[in-house]
Amino acid sequence: MPKFKVYISDYDYPDIEIEKNILEPIGAEVIGLQCKTGEGLAEQAYDADAIIQQYAKITRETIEKLKKCKVIARYGIGVDIVDVEAAYENGIVVTNVPDYCLDEVADHAITLSFMLLRNIPFYNAKVHEGSYRWQDWRSPIPRMRDSVYGLIGFGRIAQNLARKIKVFGFDIVAYDPYVSESYMATMGVRKVDLDTLLRTSNVVNVLTPYTSETHHIINEEALKKMRKDAYLVGVSRGKCIDNKALYKALTEGWIVAAALDDPEEEPMKMGNWTPAMNPLFTLDNFFCTPHTAYVSVGSLNECRHVAANNVKAVLLGQTPPNLVKPGK
């Protein structure tokens, strides 16, 4: 008879051996589910002592049915898909994995922005059509050292990104109401207001967490403020960018192109997604990766180890190293 039951709400890893290797020695049975949307999770995991969560949305309604649960552990940084307040009200702590992909997301964002700045996808399309001319750029290519790189949000990923691209000579600006001008200056970054960032940046990169404040932080008004020769990059939650407004911006020429790591509907949290659900996927100046900014072999292994060890600590009556507090 197992001492604990640990359910993994959903996972896209090839197996759950890492989690089992960490949790079975303390008497836990680790059970993998594929409840991707979170619907019906409480019924499937009614006797859970712990839940490890990937994409499943865990609502107050679900939490109130989990009578034995002590911890909900996120595979990842963001906790917008778990009702943290409800969890603590019901005696359940929440943990995350805050540091595992700081390089990967920064590197992915840099890759997308450099791809756009250097017109790579547009040149590639023309070459495949049989044209071999530098004049085939979609928009004139600026020198990087003459360009402004704008960061919306200046957390750990943005700071890492700024450090890496500084060597290319960009004038790096950032908007973040929670980070001081002096702190940004220590990294060679200028603090500006959002309006200034949008109006002056060659690249606008959205790196905020998803909150009520950042929902559609890039909307029609913001896109109209951007330079006509600018590019938009997004590697944060899909709902930070209004996709209907972005479609208008890309089809009406408000900006040149955009590259996102997730559209607004966030397909990995849906059961039956198709590209037909979002008109952005009909455009040749919109590029998207399937929520892979965080991915590398090393980051995935680290994430799984940390999440499982957070659960282990709670089940053993210890304080987990990556506790998420209500209101954060």
Helices 102-117/156-165 angle, 10° precision: 50
Candidates 265, 266, 302, 305; catalytic one: 266
Helix, strand, coil percentages in the chain from 3-state DSSP, rounded to 5: 40, 15, 45
For residue 215, indicate whether it is catalytic: no
The candidate with the shortest Cα–Cα distance to 208, out of 230, 180, 235, is: 235
- Helices 120-129 & 102-117, crossing angle to 10 degrees? 50
Burial of 129 (0-12, 13-18, 19+ CB in 10 A): exposed
- Per-residue buried b or exposed e for 55-66, using 16+ beta carbons within 10 Å of the residue's own CB: bbbbbeebbeeb
- Among the listed residues 237, 252, 302, 305, the single catalytic one is 237
Neighbours of 156 (CB within 10 A): 14
User: How many angstroms separate the CA atoms of 58 and 71, rounded?
Assistant: 12
**Catalytic entry in 74, 108, 227, 291:** 291
Cα–Cα distance measured from residue 78 to residue 183, given in angstroms and rounded to the nearest whole number: 24
Report yes or no: 307 and 95 within 8 Å, Cβ to Cβ.
yes
199 is catalytic: no
Per the annotation, the verdict on 221 as an active-site residue is no
Which of 9, 42, 19 has the alpha carbon at shortest distance from 268? 9
Name the residues annotated as catalytic.
237, 266, 291
